[in-house]
Amino acid sequence: MKVPHEWHKDFFRNSFYNPASPAAVEKAPAEAAFILRQLKLKKGAALLDLCCGPGRHAVEFAKKGLAVTGYDFSAEYLKEASARAKKKKVSLRLLRGDMRRLPFRGEFDAAVNLFTSFGYFQKFSDDLKTLKGVAAALKPGGFFLLDVINGDFVRKNFRRRDWVEMEDYYHLEEVEALRDGVSTTWTRIEKKGGKVQSRKFFGRLYDKKSVSSALGKAGLKPLKFWGGFSGKPLTSKANRLIVLARKSR
């Protein structure tokens, strides 16, 4: 089975995968706190959460007094983000669209893209379109913080097959190494009723060098790197690659 061309359109649905698992939601406040320490934004500053999904970070940013725009392709996740904001009594501006076609011009003090919501396109030019859109969306001197899986870590700890037990289902993973990234098949087997669903997706692997080059091509200068939200250094032992970049003034 080949990775479908626009695989994201059929992948990010709650019936198959929801990034806001209880464990992920629990981590969001500490991750948001780390991010805000790096961005040093003033109250009321405009922040773009690109690929905000169900809004687990967006609501934390809004709780700290930022004017948050969440942008995502999945209508289901945006609905969940809206409900989460209502529950937390914060306001979010939520917009649906494709990350390759960002409609913003110089309106944000900062932008974030979290939990490996980047590197999804089989053409590198599409990743670059996304980064150029982020640069255009930022005010001069605006910051961009990107959090993706660390390509060096994935290559060194490659596991062809893996599985994990979730609350309601079993999650199976099969990974194939490609030149620029990985093609992964996720299979979900419901505990109740045994329904089986499989989807294949592509992930471009970025390391310090390749992400710096991509950011540079989009007019974003990498400033700092970390290997996790604890603030640990980026080494091949760290499974995250977090980079803070800045648009020139």
Ligand X SMILES: C[S@@+](CC[C@H](N)C(=O)[O-])C[C@H]1O[C@@H](n2cnc3c(N)ncnc32)[C@H](O)[C@@H]1O
Question: Binding residues for ligand X, per CB under 6 A?
Answer: 8, 12, 19-20, 51-54, 56-57, 72-74, 77, 98-99, 114-117, 120
* 167 vs 194 by CB, closer to ligand X: 167
* 6 vs 248 by CB, closer to ligand X: 6
* 57 vs 188 by CB, closer to ligand X: 57
Chain residue at closest Cβ approach to ligand X: 53
Minimum CB–partner distance for residue 112 and ligand X (Å): 8
* 32 vs 238 by CB, closer to ligand X: 32
Minimum CB–partner distance for residue 31 and ligand X (Å): 8
* 12 vs 226 by CB, closer to ligand X: 12
* 72 vs 109 by CB, closer to ligand X: 72
Nearest to 206 by CA among 245, 149, 246, 125: 149
Minimum CB–partner distance for residue 244 and ligand X (Å): 17
Minimum CB–partner distance for residue 71 and ligand X (Å): 7
Contacts of 125 (CB under 8 A, 6+ apart): none
Minimum CB–partner distance for residue 74 and ligand X (Å): 3
Nearest to 146 by CA among 124, 108, 121, 114: 114
Minimum CB–partner distance for residue 5 and ligand X (Å): 12
Compute the distance between CA of residue 141 and CA of residue 245 in angstroms, rounded to an integer: 10
| 90-108 as b/e: b if 16+ CB within 10 A | bebebeeebbbebebeeeb
